[in-house]
Amino acid sequence: MKVDNSAELRRRIEALKREKRTVILAHYYTRPEVQQIADFLGDSLALSVKAQSVDADIILFAGVHFMAETAKVLCPDKKVLIPCPEAGCSLAESCDAKDFAAFKSRYPGYRVVSYVNTTVGVKALTDVCCTSSNALKVVESIPADVPVIFAPDRNLGSYIQKLTGRQNMVLWNGACHVHEEFSLEKLLALKREHPGAKVVVHPECRPYIVEVADFVGSTAAILDYCGTCGADEFIVVTESGILAEMKRRYPGKSFIPAPPDDESCACNNCKYMKMVTLENIAACLENEAPEITLDEEVRRAAERSIRNMIAIR
Ligand code: 13P
Ligand code: SF4
């Protein structure tokens, strides 16, 4: 029989946090029990902004690798811990820094906008990062006659291209394995079953899914919309971890997760985010490892593109 030791783990984590002056930052896609022990819970943009101002000796990042790297870029003097360094991201992995440098060299004079879901090496080759919260503002901040490279998410890129009508934009061909898996057929069937429900969609989804949405936005924007739009029922087309925060914020409303194409794979779960557990957080705090370390030259180059993003928030 499996023993539930989560209460004991939570107590250990709380004690270690106090003893080591540690702040835990967590993304909404992590497991509900991980979200519960976080000092700050947010989407990618909010977490980057928070990382630069935390009052602590140690930041423990309960999220995927690129998020912890971003915190280290912004806080080089702090120890940044990652409980599960194997927790990657299919978007970040779809864009290797060497390949991206070769791609960039084919487009001289282009301004490079990269989604924050990239490695530090790609950020170092970027003029300004963005998240799904501020991608539109970031692209709009670039003069219309300056061509743009947008990487690595082709779906977010084409969504922004459609909103801006910008022709002079080339897209890197990357995607998120979670957001690409939703089935249009199953989504339309759910819509017929729940005609009063609003369909909320993350822009990392494929264009034909975005097209049937009542609202398209980042994790934080979707959460806000569910509180303000007046509807009581929502079909949620994004990673399923967000449901915990939706239910916490709006206990009277109903949230239906949209199914992926292959329901046996549970691919509306980010397998990387779910690798972060109370067990590996406690061990990481105890050992003060694994820790993020970065080459200083690369860090400085990446910092410029992240700070440019935060300025456009
Ligand atoms: P946001 O947190 O910007 O909505 O991004 C979603 C995501 O896929 C994070 O990896
Ligand atoms: Fe990366 Fe997609 Fe997971 Fe976000 S949900 S961390 S984009 S794989």
Please check whether residues 76 and 96 belong to one and the same domain.
no
What pLDDT sits at residue 161?
97
* Domain annotation covers residue 265: no
**Cα-to-centroid distance, 239 and ligand 2 (Å):** 8
Q: Peptide bond before 290: cis, by omega within 30 degrees of 0? A: yes
Give 10-residue mean pLDDT values along the chain (313 residues). Answer: 81 97 96 96 90 94 96 96 97 97 98 96 98 95 97 97 96 95 94 97 97 96 97 96 95 92 74 96 98 98 96 86
Please check whether residues 38 and 114 belong to one and the same domain.
no
Please check whether residues 290 and 303 belong to one and the same domain.
no
* Domain annotation covers residue 263: no
Please check whether residues 148 and 10 belong to one and the same domain.
no
What pLDDT sits at residue 231?
97
What pLDDT sits at residue 261?
73
Provide φ and ψ at 167, rounded to 5°.
Answer: -90, -30
What pLDDT sits at residue 50?
93
* Bridge partners, residue 24, by sequence: 60
**Cα-to-centroid distance, 43 and ligand 1 (Å):** 6
Please check whether residues 107 and 164 belong to one and the same domain.
yes
Please check whether residues 239 and 194 belong to one and the same domain.
yes
CATH of the domain at 16: 3.40.50.10800
* Domain annotation covers residue 188: yes
pTM > 0.85: yes or no:
yes
When divided into structural domains, the chain yields a total of: 3
What pLDDT sits at residue 265?
66
Please check whether residues 28 and 170 belong to one and the same domain.
no
Which three-class secondary structure string do you get for 79-94?
A: EEECCCCCCCCHHHHC
The Cα-based distances of 191 to 35, 228, 237, 250 in angstroms read: 30, 21, 12, 21
* Domain annotation covers residue 129: yes
Rounded Cα distance, 99 and 109, in Å: 18
Q: From the CA of 87, which ligand is nearest?
A: 2
Please check whether residues 96 and 171 belong to one and the same domain.
yes
Please check whether residues 101 and 127 belong to one and the same domain.
yes
Q: Is 245 in the pocket of ligand 1 (CB under 6 A)?
A: no
Residues whose CB is less than 8 angstroms from the CB of residue 311 and which lie 6 or more positions away in sequence, other chains included: none
What pLDDT sits at residue 313?
77
Q: Which atom of ligand 2 is nearest to the CA of 90?
A: 8
Please check whether residues 77 and 103 belong to one and the same domain.
no
Collapse the DSSP code of 2 into the 3-class scheme (helix H, G, I; strand E, B; otherwise coil) and give the result: coil
Rounded Cα distance, 200 and 193, in Å: 16
**How many Cα atoms occupy the beta-carbon half-sphere of 259 within 13 Å?**
12
* Domain annotation covers residue 153: yes
Please check whether residues 221 and 169 belong to one and the same domain.
no
* Domain annotation covers residue 108: yes
pLDDT in tens, 266-302: 668 899 999 999 999 999 999 999 999 999 999 999 9
What pLDDT sits at residue 143?
97
What pLDDT sits at residue 59?
97
**Cα-to-centroid distance, 220 and ligand 1 (Å):** 9
* Domain annotation covers residue 267: no
* Domain annotation covers residue 210: yes
Please check whether residues 11 and 80 belong to one and the same domain.
yes
Range of the domain at 47: 6-86+273-294
Alpha helices in 194-295, H assignment, sequence order: 207-210, 219-228, 242-249, 278-287
